[in-house]
Every structure is written in C-alpha cells, then in structure tokens.
C-alpha cells in the first residue's frame, strides 16, 4: 500500500485547515482591536463630556461668587466700610480676570466683564482715596450705578448659564 498519497492528501488538508484557522484567528483579532478602539473612543467622549460638565459648574460657581462680591462691595460702600469695600473690589477683579477669557462667555459678555474690571479699578482708586482721607467719605452716585450695572450684567450671565445647565 502506498502511504505517500495519504500523507500528501492529509498534509494538504491539514495545511488548508491550518490556513483557515489562522485566517479566522487573524479576523477575530482584528475584530477585537476594532471593538477595543471603539470602546476607547466612547470612553474618551464620555470623559470629555464629564470634564465639560464639571468645568461648566465651576464657571457657574465663579459667576455666582462674582455677583456676591459686587453686592458686598455695594453694601460696604453704603456702610462706609472702605477697607472691606476695597478688599472685595480686589477679590472681584481677580475672579473676573480669571473668567474673562473663558470660552463659555459670549463675545458681548467678555466685553462686559472687561469693562467691569476697568470700572472696578476706578472705583478702587476712589475708595483708596477715601480710605486715606484724601477725598470726601462718600461714593458718588455714578459709581454706585456702575456697581449696580455690574451686578445686573453678571446676573444676566448667571441666568444664561442656569438656563444652559437646565437644558442638559
């Protein structure tokens, strides 16, 4: 009996089966790689969305702090507590400087915040003069109106951010 024919036949069959198994294994590996990449991309999108939500909340908190600080400046001016008014002005300018370039602000809101920073510098100069007794211990009506305008502007930004937060 000639065994070489059977050896060749089964050898060829084994080679073909081995090739099929290799192709199936390679296809399975490619499928798993694609599946892993898709899962990683989804995870990245979810992480970015979480970062955006946290960033929005932090920004919203900063604007709320700004509104509170302006109100405190107004109240300390009315109470003629000049040192505290100056302190709150300085704090407010620092916080506003931190939010002026935030991408969540619209163009007109950026201009409003920049103007508020400039106005606060003038108000601080006036309050400083009062604190050093160089000026009459009184805040002019126009400066109080400027503080009122800043409160209203920041409250509008605050309201817009609340509305955006509620949409999500």
State the pLDDT at residue 128: 86
For residue 54, what pLDDT is reported?
85
Say how many domains are in the chain.
1
Q: Does residue 132 belong to any structural domain of this protein?
A: yes
Q: Is 36 part of any domain? A: no
Residue numbers of the domain that contains 84? 50-167
Smallest Cα–Cα separation from 102: which of 71, 61, 73? 61
- Position 1 pLDDT exceeds 60: no
Which residues in 106-136 are b (16+ Cβ under 10 Å) and which e?
eeebeebbeebbebbeebbebbbebeeeeee
- Residue 8 belongs to some domain of the structure: no
* Average pLDDT of the residues in 5-33: 82
pLDDT digits (tens, 9 = 90+) for 64-123: 999 999 999 999 999 989 899 999 999 999 999 999 998 889 999 999 999 999 999 999
Instruction: Let me know if residue 151 belongs to a domain.
Output: yes
pLDDT in tens, 105-121: 999 999 999 999 999 99
Which one is predicted more confidently, 58 or 152? 152
What mean pLDDT is reported for the chain?
Answer: 87
Q: What does the DSSP assignment read for 12-30?
A: HHHHHHHHHHHHHHHHHHH
Task: Examine residue 152 and state whether it is found in any structural domain, yes or no.
Answer: yes
Residue 100 lies in a domain: yes
CATH of the domain at 145: 1.20.120
Q: Per residue in 124-161, pLDDT tens?
A: 988 888 877 766 678 888 999 999 999 999 999 999 88
Rounded Cα distance between 73 and 81, Å, is 9
């Amino acid at each position: 009996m000639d065994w070489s024919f059977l050896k060749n036949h089964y050898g060829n069959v084994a080679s073909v089966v081995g090739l099929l198994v290799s192709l199936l294994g390679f296809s399975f590996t490619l499928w798993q790689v694609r599946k892993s990449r898709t899962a990683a991309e989804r995870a990245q999108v979810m992480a970015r969305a979480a970062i955006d939500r946290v960033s929005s909340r932090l920004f919203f908190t900063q604007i709320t702090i700004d509104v509170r600080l302006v109100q405190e400046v107004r109240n300390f001016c009315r109470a003629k507590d000049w040192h505290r008014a100056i302190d709150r002005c300085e704090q407010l300018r620092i916080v506003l400087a931190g939010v002026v370039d935030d991408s969540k602000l619209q163009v007109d809101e950026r201009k409003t915040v920049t103007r508020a920073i400039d106005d606060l510098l003038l108000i601080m100069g006036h309050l400083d003069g009062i604190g050093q007794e160089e000026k009459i211990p009184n805040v002019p009506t126009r400066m109080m109106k400027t503080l009122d305008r800043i409160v209203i502007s920041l409250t509008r930004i605050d309201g817009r951010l609340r509305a955006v937060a509620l949409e999500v």
